[in-house]
Amino acid sequence: MAPIGNPLPPPCPPRAGEAFREICALALLWVILWALAPGCASSLPRKDPRYQPAENLLDILADFQHHLSDDTYRYEPPQDITGKNIYRATLLRLESYEKANPNSLKPIVFFSRAKALERLRDYGGAMRNYRPLTQVDSKLKEQAEKGLKTCQEFQEARSFSLEKHSLQDHLTEIEKKRTRWRDLVEKYSGTPYESLAREEEERVDQERVLFLEDHRRSLQDGDAMILLAHQEIINKHAQSKKIDEHLLGLADFYFSLAKEYVQEHDPTGAGFDAHIFNQYANSALQIYATLARARYGKPERLEAKGKLEALRAFVDKTVGQAN
């Protein structure tokens, strides 16, 4: 088993060229807004009201643009000053801006909304906002074309499906999805799209674990396959913000194996093997205890602490019956 509770390494610096262009995507909006609203730079005490919509849009996008390249695979999505997900909050504010200022600065509104939807992994919604910008003469056309192409790739990878008639067909589909996302992770390595691709790959890996658990009785060596899948996701996504969730999943499975063993082998009878029971129980205890100690301030710590107490009580009861 991989070491548990080690601090995550610092995020890797992105490649200078592609990442810099993505990081500065909305910085371009400031230039456009500046050109459209010269009153924003005026030192006069009273500003021309014609330029107020541009200033309002600057306020909406001020924090948002700084978080376009955040690594949401390793870290939780950024929040605004009200504690809301900044990408969701930006969508709501853009909607309010459009209602108050119909047809005002629409290229910037479309582009900003597409970027927010990207970060929320709504690739279809992002594509609908990119397309109008690719069909008009706009300073954002080139960036919109690149974003549209990438979102199309992501949407195709997510919606990939095979005709399925058996459990093996389902597993084959999942494996092909995993391969597609792994290819996209490598293709967009060093760009802000890398973290999105890693999140999608992680989601499919979780889907695989859940599918195996749901069909473990129908699979040959189902328990071994599930344990291997849990270990693989822990090793593969050791830097993910969801690593505690993955560790809890493995501990929960060990706990379920311990409970099933007790149900199938009465602790008071001759068929109960304490060694097998302890293998399951101790594996779960180790993970729960490590998470409960090391992950201060996170919900998973409280969950692990509660499950640790429940498992200890279960072990004490079982051992007492077996003695």
Supply the pLDDT for residue 18: 47
Q: Token pair 């429940």 is at which residue?
A: 310
What number of other Cβ atoms are within 10 A of residue 191's Cβ? Answer: 21
Please give the structure tokens belonging to residue 202. Answer: 């992680």
For 12-56, the DSSP string reads PPPPHHHHHHHHTTTHHHHHHHHHH-GGGG--SSS--GGGHHHHH
- C-alpha angle with apex 305: 302 to 311, nearest 5 degrees? 140
Cα→Cα distances 20→14, 16, 23, 191, Å: 8, 6, 5, 8
Looking at the predicted structure, is the pLDDT value of residue 50 above 50? Answer: no
DSSP symbols for 78-120:
PB-TTSSBHHHHHHHHHHHHHHHSTTSSHHHHHHHHHHHHHHT
Residue 274: predicted pLDDT: 94
- What burial letters (b/e) apply to 119-153, b meaning 16+ CB within 10 Å? bbbbbebbbbbbeebbeeebebbebbebbbebbeb
- So where are the chain's domains? 16-154, 160-241, 243-323
The average pLDDT across 283-306 equals 87
* Structure confidence by residue, pLDDT tens digits, 259-286: 999 999 999 999 999 999 999 999 999 9
pLDDT in tens, 3-13: 444 433 444 44
Task: Please work out, in degrees rounded to the nearest 5, the angle formed at the alpha carbon of residue 104 by the alpha carbons of 101 and 107.
Answer: 135
Per-residue pLDDT tens over the stretch 193-212: 999 999 999 999 999 999 99
Q: In the numeric block, which tokens belong to residue 226?
A: 């599930």
Count the Cβ atoms, other than its own, within 10 Å of residue 235.
11
- Say how many C-beta atoms besides its own lie within 10 A of residue 228's C-beta: 12
Which of 43-47, 63-67, 78-82, 304-308 has the least mean pLDDT? 43-47
Contact between residue 152 and residue 125 where contact means Cβ atoms under 8 Å apart: no
pLDDT, residue 323, reads: 83
Residue range 229-250: mean pLDDT, rounded: 97
Residue-level pLDDT at 53: 54
> What radius of gyration do the chain's Cα atoms show?
25
Percent of the chain with pLDDT over 70: 82
**Residue 125, token pair as written in the block:** 């919604």
